[in-house]
Structure 1
Amino acid sequence: MESKIKKTKYVPEIKGVFRSNYIELPKCIAEASGIKVFGRRIKSVLFSTDVAIIKNTNADSVIAVYPFTPQLVINQALLLASDVPVFCGVGGGHTTGNRVINIALHAEFQGAIGVVVNKPTPNEIITALKDTIDIPIVVTVVSENEDVLSRLRAGAGIINVSGAKNTPNIVKKIRQIDSTVPIIATGGNTEETVQKTIEAGANAITFTPPTTADIFAISMNKYREL
C-alpha cells in the first residue's frame, strides 16, 4: 500500500551578513491558500508605512494605509522602497469623491498592485473605481453588520477584514455569503490567532509588525550589556 504520509520539502535558505536581521512573519501563514493577483500568489500582507520595516521583511506584500489624507508622494515613496507588491490606501473616509478616483488611478500608474478604500466609502465610489482602474479594489470591512454583498456587486475585488478579536467571526459570515471571494484578514500577533483566522476562511493574513522604536529598544538593550 502506498504511503500517504506527507513529506516535508527541504527549502534552502540564503541569508546575508548584513541583512540577516529582518521581520519574519509567523510561519503558519504559509498554510493559507493565498490570493493570486496578476499571477503572483500572496499569503502574507505586512501592515506598515514605515519604509525601513517594509524594506526588511519576508512578507509577500504590503498594505499601506494611514489615518491621513492620501498623498501621491507617500505612495510613491512606499512603492519605491518595497521589494514586494503594495496595496495603496486611497481614502474613502475623510477623502471622498473624485479625489479618491484620481489618487487610485495615480497609484495604478505608479505600480500599486491594488488600492484600499475605508469602510465609509460609498458603493458609488467603488463602482466608479471599478470603471476607472484595472487593479483590484480592496474594500475594508470592520463589522459583521456590513452589507458585504452590496460591496461585491459594486465592484469590490478583495475584502479586507479588520475586526480585531472579532475578525474570525466576520470572515465566517462572509464565507456564508460568498465561498470564493478573496479575503485578506488581520491575524493578530500569535500563531494561534493567525491559525483561527485562516480556519475561518481567510485567504491571506495581514500582520502588524513591531514599531521601529520597539525594535531599536531591543538592540539598544543588547548594546548596553556589552
Structure 2
Amino acid sequence: MQGCQVYSRSQPAVQTQAVTGQRRRVGIYGGTFNPVHNAHLLVADQVGHALCLNKVKLMPDAIPPHVDHKTAISADLRLAMLRLAIEGNPLLGIEDGELKRGGVSYTYETMKRLINQHPDTDYYFIIGGDMVDYLDKWFRIDDLIKLPRFHFVGVRRPHASNTTNYPVIWVDVPEVDISSSDIRSRIRRGQSVNYLLPAKVAAFIKEHHLYQ
C-alpha cells in the first residue's frame, strides 16, 4: 500500500510509503456482529488502509463481557454471515478464537493469547469512540495496554466524547449510522434492509428466517 498513514500512539499520522520489514500488522475488530453490516465493513476497510495493515480480522465474541448483555443468535450463524460479508476483500479476515474458547470474552486474555501465538505480529485493536469513553472499566485495562505489540485504535463516534487518558491511535472514518439492533428491528417489522448490510448476508438471513 502506498501513501497510507502510519501512526504511533504518541505521534500524529505521517504519510509514508508501504511498510517494510518482516513484522506483520494485523487489525482486530471485535463485536457480536448480530448481524454484521456495512458500517462494520466500512470501519474495518478504512482502518486497514489508513494504518497499512496486512490484515483486519473481524472477531465475533462468544459472550460479550458488557453489563448490558446482548441476546445473539448462535455463533455458527453469525460466523457464516461474517464469511459471506468479507468475500472478495482480501484485506479482511476472521479471528474465531473467542468462539472456539467459549464463555465470556475478555480482550486482555484474547490479545495475550494472540501475541504469544504470533510473536512476529503487531496488533491494532479497533474500537468505537463510545467504547473508548469507558476504557477505565475494561477488565485488566492497565495490563492490557502494557502488552507488547498491542495498540488501541479509536474510531470517533458522533455521540461519544472521544477522549481518553489511555494511549489510542485515532483514525477518521466516514460516519455511517447503521446498527445491528436497528436491522433486527426492521426485519421484525418486515421493512427493507437493502444497502444496510451485504446482499449475501441479507439473503442468508431471509433463507434461515433469522430475527423474525
TM-score, normalised to structure 2, is 0.37
More helix by share: 1
The higher-RCO structure (CA 8 Å, 6+ apart) is 2
Please identify the structure whose Cα radius of gyration is greater: 1
TM-score, normalised to structure 1, is 0.35
